[in-house]
Structure 1
Amino acid sequence: MRALIIYESVFGNTHTVAEAIAEGLRTAGEATLVPAADAEGSLLASVDVDLLIIGGPTHGHGLPALYTRKPEPRTAASAYGLPQAAPGASEESDLRSVLDALPVGSHVEPQGIAVKHQVAAAAFDTRRSGPVLFTGRTSRAIAKRLRQRGYASAARPASFLVDGQDQLLAGEIDRAVQWGKSLAAHGS
């Protein structure tokens, strides 16, 4: 099984979760991690994997956007005593660009008759601990966009929780490894 994990991370939590998911996936094959900022059109056009996983932080109840990143992440982190932004974090929402540039997940015969192969996909996010009504959940928006692009759902969207200081809660990294293993089992 070949898996590709594309993620966006501001404070490093989503990156940490993506690495843990990859660890779980590697029990059944290869897993490559790519930050959304590095997911260029050529990479996306040549997506040749069995499983595509996309994840990002929850901002303003959903996908990160330019307006949810003001003030700029590094300034916001230091101003509120929060962790510094992760290396490569940018003001712009790379995740939205990636989702818009994804190739269609199923390959259809020229006459539009039959699906030859449908790529499986899964979505995850990092978000504050609390009811979804109050925190939002980026993974649902990612999963919806993946379905619209023709990807088959490999699992329900997953959320990995952070506390009020933007630190992953105890046990979330282990839970991410287990989620990766469950995805690997689905793909086998």
Structure 2
Amino acid sequence: MKALIIHESLFGNTRAVAEAVKRGLTRSRPDAVDLLRSDEAPGVIPEEVSLLILGGPTHAFSMTRPSTRTDAEAKGAKEHVRLGIREWVDAVVPRPELPVVTFDTRVKVRLMPGSAAKSAARALRARGFRRVEQGETFWVEDTDGPLRTGELERAEGWGHELGARSDLRPGAPAGR
């Protein structure tokens, strides 16, 4: 069994969350866990991957677009992403029975709708992935961060929980 975490990060916050999720996942699932940027992720998910975790920042109520990434770069984004999770989802060859869990980072603003995790889960289902679950949101203080206190610890704990879940193992029935 192997897990693959694909992330998109512009200011480094989502990358830090993905790394924390990997640490937690490795504690409960000591098999291989790979972590890749969305613009380095394969268009065909290798057969040995038995769990996919996909995360990105929430921009303009959803996954990033080229225009929102350009705006982030103008605001000092540290990482330059050529292909975000939106474009990756549009291009990936679906594996219908592969368990997939999404996550996002976003600024906590009262009554502000939108979630990259929710949008990604919806897009993955539309592409033909049937075992998709919208996961967690991890909160940042402002567009460029930092992550709120305790979010990395929460991400690591969430990764550990994901690794321990029997319904995310190969051959397990869909649903939670």
TM-score by length of 1: 0.79
What residue in structure 2 maps to residue 140 of structure 1? 118
The structural deviation recorded for 1:135 is 5.2
Aligned partner of 1:95 in structure 2 is 85
Q: Percent identity?
A: 33
SS at 1:130 equivalent: coil
**Which runs of structure 2 are paired with 1:57-68 in the superposition (5 Å)?**
57-68=57-68
CA displacement 1:115-173 (0-9 Å, x = unmatched): xxx11010000100234x415211001111222222413x5421000002521000000
Distance 1:103 1:97 in 2: 12
Report the counterpart of residue 160 of structure 1 in structure 2: 138
AA matched with 2:148:
L
2:157 to 178, 181, 184: 178
Q: Return 140-149 or 172-181, whichever deviates more.
A: 140-149
Residue 174 of structure 2: aligned partner: none
Matched residue type, 2:75: A
Q: Secondary structure at the match of 2:152?
A: helix
- 2:48 maps to what in 1? 48
* C-alpha spacing 1:57/1:72, structure 2 compared with 1 (3 Å): closer
Measured after TM superposition, the shift of residue 105 of structure 1 is 2.0
Report if aligned partners of 1:22, 1:33 keep a CA contact under 8 Å in 2.
yes
1:76 Cα deviation after fit: 1.4
Q: How many residues align?
A: 163
Q: Distance in 1 between matches of 2:90 and 2:32?
A: 25
Superposed displacement of residue 47, structure 1: 4.8
SS in 1 for 2:71: coil
1:127·1:135 contact (CA, 8 Å) conserved in 2?
Answer: no
**Residue in structure 1 matched with residue 95 of structure 2 by the alignment:** 105
Q: 1:85 and 2:78 equivalent?
A: yes
- Distance verdict in 2 for CA 1:23–1:72, change over 3 Å: closer
C-alpha distance in structure 2 between counterparts of 1:52 and 1:93, whole Å: 18
**Counterparts in 2 of 1:24 and 1:151: CA distance versus 1, 3 Å:** farther
Check 1:130–1:49 CA distance in 2 against 1; reply closer, same or farther (3 A cut): same
> What 5-or-longer segments of structure 2 have no aligned partner?
170-176
1:31 maps to what in 2? 33
Conserved 8 A contact 1:5-1:34: yes
CA distance in 2, matches of 1:61, 1:93: 18
Question: Which secondary structure does the structure 1 equivalent of 2:24 belong to?
Answer: helix
